[in-house]
Amino acid sequence: MTEPTKTLCPYCGVGCGLEVLPPAQPGKATNRDQQGNPIWQVRGDRSHPSSQGKICVKGGTIAESLDKNRLKYPMIRESLDQPFRRASWDEALEKIVNRIQELRTTQGSDSICMYGSGQFQTEDYYIAQKLLKGCLGTNNFDANSRLCMSSAVAGYTQSFGSDGPPCCYDDLELTDCAFLIGTNTAECHPIVFNRLRVHHKKNRKVKMIVVDPRRTPTAEAADLHLAIKPGTDIDLLNGIAHLLLRWGYLDTLFIDECTQGFSQYTEVIQHYPPEVVARKCGIRIDLLEQAARYWGESERVLSLWSMGVNQSSEGTAKVRTIINLHLMTGNIGKPGAGPFSLTGQPNAMGGREAGGLAHILPGYRVVKNPQHRAEVEQLWGLTPGSISPNPGKDAWSMITGLETGTVGLLWIAATNPAVSMPDLERTKQALMRSPLTVYQDAYYPTETSAYAHILLPAAQWSEKTGTMTNSERVVTLCPQFREPPGEAKADWEIFAEVGRRLGFTQEFNFTNSEAVYAEFVQLTRDRPCDVTGLSYQRLQQQGPIQWPCPLEEEGEIGRKGEAEETGIFSALFKEKKQEKVAKRLYTDGIFNTPDGRAKFAAFHSKGLAEPPNNEYPFVLTVGRVYEHWHTMTRTGRIEKIMKKQPQPFLEIHPRDAEQLAIEEGMLIEIHSRRGKGIFPARITKAIAPGTVFVPMHWGALWAENAEANVLTHPEACPISLEPELKACAVKLIPV
Ligand code: SF4
């Protein structure tokens, strides 16, 4: 039998290990999809430390999407009302290079923008940074991670002095209390949730608290569900802190030795007594007290969150308010404890390491820091001052830049903003005005290809070799195991070729992705995300490895320690664990701030950017369903998944449905201040009265008038610049 290729699932940030086998196996019938096309066989990789062989339906069916609707050749058109014609790579790249040169002399480099993706491998991210931030001198590279976890990045950076989730998945099985807020982990990070659920079921003393306006499958599994009103997270978190302080559940030694700002924080949380908080959040006082008691009485508390916290006009404040609870109770840097943001995309973490947002540079450096810029310039062999000191345009600023004419070239790669951006009609209008949009993707058509002048075919996962980092900082090498279709190329190869054509021949003199990775790791030396001890060879030989992994630690990998002592691993996995040590950050209580202390931050709640009123009386919240991934460019092409989730829907509480005479399945028009959509009603007590839910996946290609983001607004957190995609005010009209 052929040896399987070990790789990583390219969907979500859980980062499950996969084993892939060719469609035809000796002595076995060829694996085929429903149309009879041969498909690769995919199963979980039991040796992967993060997932131990488990995968969900998305990972299990990934191979069925690989050959459908692929973009195979460069295509060009002069204007959006013309059809595309096939072009050569030469013609397409020369057009881009000419436009870049023209813009540099007329409008300046800051009129050039690239909008990338957490689907990139680290090598793709890295070369894009070198091209834009290094060689062209503009920081206008942002990624769809801006819409996903930039609030977590900002929160960690401000509280701890640097980005980086401090926990690891082993903590799921070592915690006494899991506090899940703004995350439907059961559906969106299912393999993480499975590990937690097994631990919770086995250990009656372990508590699970879920904070979510919806009674999701995650909330169903909890000991305590706090269905707070949307936008009251900070009230709740300050309310829990108030009770912990009142009842004396403090780690005073940790507060004194390892933190700063506690006294100012206590002044703010004095204003959050339970009766005030319960009323604002719309929950019972005894449930609030129960949550505080679970926190206080547990030795190890693990918080998990994702978009429900991050996608908010006060996202950074929410993240820091979660972190405050960990700091006051000393729940960080020890097994089973810590604030753990669950990343949405498969390699958003690698993007953070490679500097893949408009305000950061490779190696967890920031654009505004002159020393960081100088270090990167030196490592890239650039003249001092080559890197701009100004953060570039964030995702939404690229859209408004199209409106004002300050963006002369928009290069979009591996993402689908014509579905995923907020205020979608405005986004589309802005895209219509773009002087030149390059769209580099594996699939065609997508909703965004309708707004492109040049299409570049990208090789995707399985067709190129690269690395990805998952939410627990484990780096996995993902080897190429099949040929790209037509003339498709790896994203990094396309960026490097443009760089060479612009005259940066030395800077982009890479012959393969291994050489790119070898250069990238040098930029992480002595940084918090140090991976100088990693190489393709080592990852091939030893399998996935968690960072930090500096050069001197080479050979000292592994994940044993506390997890193993508890005997929670299967015999099969234990053998592997003997070599492996799960790494947590801040185990010594020293943080990356100048004085080594973590910072408390005191915030009052501001609430929703667009609260409901008489005209728009409902809060719309959007989210994912278990089966689909983001804008469905893959999952929309998989029969098994489409059978399970064929169409979007609107969830509404029975009380609200009765008041509006809405019946199950009835078509409902949802109006916000920006647009409208039509969705069939699902009447369910899972959603709180006054709130409605629609899934975010369906774009114009898959369903008419059912785009969730036509309704959402772009008001963003002023620190992280992450838009409040999670909530807007709407009214409902039965059709
Ligand atoms: Fe892939 Fe995420 Fe499912 Fe794991 S949980 S198989 S990474 S989609």
Burial class from Cβ neighbours inside 10 Å (0-12, 13-18, 19+) for residue 365 reads buried
Q: Output the CA 72–ligand 1 centroid distance in Å.
A: 27
Among 16, 187, 469, say which to mutate for ligand 1: greatest number of ligand atoms within 8 Å of CB: 16
b/e per residue 120-152 (b: at least 16 CB within 10 A):
bbbbbbbbbbbbbbbbbbbbbbbbbbbbbbbbb
Q: Is the pLDDT of residue 578 over 70?
A: no
Question: Would you call 164 exposed, middle or buried from its count of C-beta atoms within 10 A (0-12, 13-18, 19+)?
Answer: buried
Question: Under the phi-then-psi rule, with left for phi > 0, alpha for psi from -120 to 50, and beta for the rest, what region is 176?
Answer: alpha
d(CA 340, CA 303) in angstroms, rounded, equals: 6
Residue 145: CA atoms inside 13 Å, Cβ hemisphere, count?
34
> What are 435-449's pLDDT values in tens digits?
999 999 999 999 999
Distance, in Å, from the CA atom of 413 to the CA atom of 394, rounded to the nearest integer, reads 15
Question: For residue 573, what pLDDT is reported?
Answer: 34
Residue whose CA is closest, atom 3 of ligand 1?
56
Mean pLDDT of 545-570: 57
3-class SS letters over 524-542:
CCCCCCCCCCCCHHHHHHH
570 pLDDT more than 60: no
CA 186 to centroid of ligand 1, rounded, Å: 11
259 token code pair: 């933190």
User: pLDDT by residue (tens digit) across 515-540?
Assistant: 999 999 999 999 999 999 999 999 99
pLDDT for position 575: 37
Q: How many Cβ atoms sit within 10 Å of the Cβ of residue 660?
A: 16
Q: Considering only CA atoms, which residue is closest to atom 4 of ligand 1?
A: 16
| Ligand 1 atom, smallest distance to 15 CA | 7
> By C-alpha distance, which of 146, 122, 135 is closest to 492?
122
Look at residues 542, 520, 516 and name the one whose alpha carbon lies nearest to residue 531: 520
Q: What is the mean pLDDT of residues 203-231?
A: 97
Residue 14 has pLDDT above 90, yes or no: yes
**Percent of the chain at pLDDT exceeding 70:** 96
Which atom, in ligand 1's list, is nearest to the CA of 191? 5
pLDDT reading at 567 higher than 70: no
Instruction: Please classify residue 406 by burial: count the beta carbons closer than 10 Å to its beta carbon, then call 0-12 exposed, 13-18 middle and 19+ buried.
Output: middle
For the segment 336-354, the average pLDDT, to the nearest whole number, is: 95
Confidence of residue 32 (pLDDT cuts 50, 70, 90): confident
Ligand 1 pocket test: pick from 43, 58, 148 the residue with the most ligand atoms within 8 Å of its Cβ: 58
Give the distance (Å) from ligand 1 centre to CA of residue 358. Answer: 27
Whether residue 170 has pLDDT greater than 50: yes
Instruction: Report how far ligand 1's centroid is from the alpha carbon of 58 (Å).
Output: 6
pLDDT at 576 over 60: no
Report the SS3 class of residue 116.
Answer: strand
Q: Of 345, 575, 454, 434, which Cα lies nearest the Cα of 98?
A: 454
The pLDDT of residue 557 is above 50: no
Residues with C-beta less than 6 Å from any ligand 1 atom: 9, 11-12, 14-16, 55-56, 58-59, 190-191
- Which residue would you say has higher pLDDT here, 121 or 559? 121
- For the CA of 51, the nearest atom of ligand 1: 4
pLDDT higher than 70, residue 560: no
Residue 83: strand, helix, or coil: coil
For the CA of 55, the nearest atom of ligand 1: 6
Question: Look-up: residue for tokens 């992705």?
Answer: 513
pLDDT at position 618: 98
Domains and CATH numbers, the chain: 5-65 (2.20.25.90), 89-142+349-469+487-513 (3.40.50.740), 150-342 (3.40.228.10), 618-734 (2.40.40.20)
What distance separates the 2 farthest-apart alpha carbons in the chain? 72
Which backbone phi and psi does 39 adopt, to 5 degrees? -130, 145
Q: Is the pLDDT of residue 340 over 60?
A: yes
Ligand 1 centroid to 12 CA: how many Å? 5
CA of 474 relative to ligand 1 center, distance in Å: 14
From the CA of 48, how far away is ligand 1's center (Å)? 13
Q: What is the DSSP string of 688-724?
A: -TTEEEEES---TTTSTT--GGGT----B-TTT--B-
Task: Locate the ligand 1 atom nearest the alpha carbon of residue 59 and give its number.
Answer: 6
Distance (angstroms) between ligand 1 centre and the Cα of 472 equals: 14
- Give dist(CA 20, CA 6) in Å, integer: 7
Q: Which atom of ligand 1 is nearest to the CA of 62?
A: 1
For residue 474, what are the β-bridge partners?
A: 546
The interface predicted TM-score of the complex, written ipTM, equals: 1.00
Tell me how far the alpha carbon of residue 695 lies from the centroid of ligand 1, in angstroms.
18
